[in-house]
Amino acid sequence: MSNRWIQPGDNVDITNERKKCTFDIEKMSAFIHGGEDKLQRRREILEYVKSNKSLGDPQPIEFMTRNERVENASRKIVEMTNNTDQIDGSDFFGEGMYYQALTMGRDLHAMSLHYVMFIPTLQGQTDDEQLDHWLSLAIARAIVGTYAQTELGHGTNLSKLETTAHYDPKTEEFVLNSPTITAAKWWPGALGKSSNYAVVVAQLYTQGECKGPHPFIVQLREMDTHKPLKGITLGDIGPKLGINGSDNGFLLFDHVRIPRRHMLMRYSKVLPDGTYIKPQHSKLGYGTMVFVRSIMIKDQASQLGAASTIAIRYASVRRQGEIIPNSGEVQILDYQTQQYRLFPQLARAFAFLFAAYEIRDLYMKVTEQLTHGNTELLPEIHALSSGLKSVVSWDTAQGIEQCRLACGGHGYSQASAFPEIYGYAVGGCTYEGENIVMLQQVARFLMKAAEEVKKGSANLAEICAYIGRKGEQHSRFTSVDSYRDEDIVSDLEYVARQQVFRAYEKLRKAQQQANSETAWNSCSVELCKTSRWHVRLYLVKNFLAKVSTAPSDLRAVLHDVARLYAFDIITSSSGNFYENGYMREDQMNEIREGVYKCLHRIRPNAVSLVDSWDYDDRELKSVLGRRDGNVYPALLEWAKQSPLNKTEVLPTFDKYLGPMMREAKSKL
């Protein structure tokens, strides 16, 4: 079959890898990206971006100063959003994210939170009148907004945010104030220098009572001069581990007044006299967070997929060492240790991407239900998205680092793209909810489900229905070849269920001896383990279910990848499966052999599997991961672009090194 990834002049080794492929790459790409029509749209968007020079960078961003990066990012985002007719604006999850990735790279920009948080919050939290006023301004880019929630002293613990909004019924205004230094808003993207509006989360006080954190829309800067308004202090927080094209910022209020109607009032309200109307359901505001986390999960999957692509392609062209003496150096991808390092990362990328699709679909379903006042699924999907955010971002960060290490010394160079990928992706472990705190939120949901099961009144959603099932007492495993998908799921359900009730019983006993928060803290490690198993179970179930929907000629190779993902989880946590004699050592040893069998079967398809993710060099931005495999000439050309190479002799020689050497020589 023809292969669009093979072209004249390519590295011989990577070409030979592609010739080994046993499946239709185009069909696999279409399956990964949601259909042939979506795949073709990706390529149309790619061609547009590549043909528009104003959407590109004048030089590799690695050689830019921070000021240059911020300016370059601002220039590109304006150009990009001037041309949004190139994409389906309603499909940010698909076309929007791809268009942005091709244009902006692995960086944030002046309008990142405008589109991902500011506009979705307006759509989800404003009443009809507010929506009519604010949404058109935001969509037209007449204002640039951000989302200011995290503070210098508090992040995930929203109940303790310190920024206050006191309602004054005499003027029908809220008075925003930062009573302490730790109340300073800290971290919001584009807050420092770019945004002139923000959704600000503050503690609402009315009629002498605190009603907890609520969102308000606040103007920060003059519309014409862009100077901060009176009573507002804000600025950039400085360079970070990654995303340095973004001016993440700080913000302090000194008794700033805003109109009453600048409180977002879809669910909760403050009437002119100060009367507070609470929301019908305490979790109605979760919808926006679920949407953001679905985007995060897809983004993390894409970054791990990119890292896997770079490392696997490079491993196919890098030759080092001999397996058979005097037979010549081999591709490092032939080493089982390299396969063991890289293939599970690719498997995780597949699992995470398919989970992102599922969460997106669940979000759309819940959104539709909310319009009819149905909140039944909201707690379940919020808990699941919180858990996925935590597990996926952590595994992605670890996976990217494994891919970097697998590329040896060249992986340390910014030419590899790994530093940029890691710096971008690892932030996901803390923003939008610190991971350990997120896991404990999931655990609260699971403990409630366990309580219902214990009382015999459980009516659990499918996502956690396994908690109420009795299940098998021993694994049905007989051999790897006969290990059915339903048996894999059953084994994982056993371990997840055991962990749920282990944590539940530990917590129940602790609560008999201490107050609830002290008891929870004493059990928090086990509770986090519980959440992780809940999420791992979901990821495996969803992955296997997705594979079953693939075209028949793709299922074999996808099944190898899915089984590798499941086997890796099982074998890396073997002790959990030995408990109560559920699984024997000989069974675990055979599953471990199953990992190696999966590696062996995936090996000839490895390069083609990463090709099927359809990354263009424009998106990868990696010398090591080039499509053509011609890594070494490209590395030399990349290095020549260093600003240090603009002159043969640096001023440092005349100022410091030259005099040092001349003086030393004169003394000899």
Residues annotated within a binding site for FAD: 150, 189
HSE toward the beta carbon, residue 367, CA cutoff 13 A? 15
Q: Give the three-state DSSP class for 235.
A: strand
Q: Phi/psi zone of residue 431: left (φ > 0), alpha (ψ -120 to 50 degrees), beta?
A: beta
**3 state SS of 278:** coil
Which residue type occupies 323? I
Is 544 within 8 Å of 566 (Cβ atoms)?
yes
Q: Pick the closest to residue 616 from 34, 44, 139 (CA basis).
A: 44
Q: Known catalytic residue: 637? A: no
Task: HSE, CB side, 13 Å, CA atoms: give it for residue 560.
Answer: 20
Structure tokens at 108: 């944030």
Q: Can you give the length of the chain in residues?
A: 668
Distance CA 256, CA 260 (A): 13
Measured over the CA atoms of residue 469, residue 472, residue 478 and residue 479, the dihedral's sign is positive
Strands 232-236 and 276-277 turn out to be unpaired
Answer yes or no: are the C-beta atoms of 80 and 99 closer than 8 Å.
Answer: yes
* SS3 track for 606-621: HHHHHHCCCCCHHHHC
DSSP 229: P
What is the C-alpha to C-alpha distance for residues 293 and 432, in angstroms, rounded to an integer? 8
- 359: part of which helix (H) or strand (E)? helix 336-370
Q: Per DSSP, which regions of 387-502 are E strands?
A: none
3-state secondary structure 249-277: EEEEECCEEEEHHHECCCCCEECCCCCEE
- Pairs from 182-185 (Cβ < 8 Å, separation ≥ 24): 182/151, 182/152, 182/153, 182/154, 183/151, 183/152, 183/153, 183/252, 184/151, 184/152, 184/250, 184/251, 184/252, 185/148, 185/149, 185/150, 185/151, 185/152, 185/249, 185/250, 185/251, 185/252
Write out the two tokens for 628: 């053509």
Q: 95, 401, 432, 493: which one is catalytic?
A: 432
CA atoms within 13 A on the CB side of 41: 16
Task: Tell whether the torsion through CA atoms of 565, 567, 571 and 574 is positive or negative.
Answer: positive
Kindly list the catalytic residues. 432
